[in-house]
Structure 1
Amino acid sequence: MRALALAGLALAAACAPQQAGRPSAAGGPAPGGLEAQAARLPAEVAGFTRGNTVWHEPERPGFGVTVDYAAPARAAVATVNLYDRGQGAVAGAPGDPRLSSEFEIVIADVLALAGTRTQQRLAEQERSEAPVPGGAPLTCSRLEGTYGRQQMTELVCLGAAAGRFLRVQVTAPLRPVRPVDPLLFAVEIAQAARGA
């Protein structure tokens, strides 16, 4: 189970928008607003604990920052990405064409990466909007598949937060040993990233 959870974390991290970039050699934060925004992400949220933070912005402008999270006993793993792809401020209004376009890119990347791995299969099951108190909803996709023989589910959500794309990806067994709520995690992360 732990190996499968680690495989899920590796997939989630590899699917992040900075996949073409590499972490900062210094590993330090980017200056300005992104650093403050990443600092707002909580140490614990919805049963998940914050892990590593990787700064991509110093060497790959536009690729922002990635923050890892894990549920107890690694029952689920998650990545949170804040980035703008170097395109300037991202508006948070529902129906923003940049958000729609980015969401399609994110889902295509997740599915394409899973398709390159012999032991992983994923298929999109449904799309929905997740209401976020005090702000615009997140657009989410639930995917299901297998990592080896383990049935897995992934929740991928995208929205805007303080002028950046906010991407949340949670990977968990379809029937986790410990209960987790990926949607609650995504919503509470959005509130934190937006400073709500």
Structure 2
Amino acid sequence: MKVGIGRAASELGVSRDTLRRWEAAGKITVERTPSGHRRYDMAQLRELVPHKSRSERVTIAYARVSHHSQKKDLKEQINHLHSFCTTHGWDFELIQDLGSGVNYHKSGLRRLIQRICDGDVERLVMTNRDRLLRFGVDLIFALCENFQTQVVIMNINSLEDFEDDIAEDIMEIITVFSARLYGTRNEKNQKIIDKLMDIAKELAE
């Protein structure tokens, strides 16, 4: 499969400058489109990236809560993960995050994605699939499949935890949406903002 430099760098977990250095050193051959853009052969590139053996790869347990008031819930998640991994005989590394399920910039999530793309992760263990993301989690699972990372979901979640997280996620969506509408000087949009903010206040109570 031939891809552009951005996608090639992303899939291999290397920088664009690294690909250019490999080209300059003659390690790889690069095709050019009529407009001069580089096209890389992914099969050739993957041969240059060292892959860890199964025994070198790790199990990562991922835990997340939406806000500081859920520290007790976070501890319970971690305890469940510890017990589950221990029962299965898996040594594991823990990555924990604080942030809503619609926040794609959480430091732990970004670190997890990088580890998966580096080929470091044998399996990913979570109490529930929405611990990763509320929307778009299937993209992460597709990455796991591509890099041969097993996904293990325990399906442990209380109704109270679920309701708290949903409320937090809805509040963040409302906040972002309101910010985009704010300042448009449109009376209709302003009414929408006011209604959304009223909903957010009710959720926070």
Query: TM-score normalized by structure 1?
Result: 0.29
Higher percent of residues as strand: 1
**Which structure has the higher relative contact order (CA within 8 Å, separation 6+)?**
1
Query: TM-score normalized by structure 2?
Result: 0.29
Higher percent of residues as helix: 2
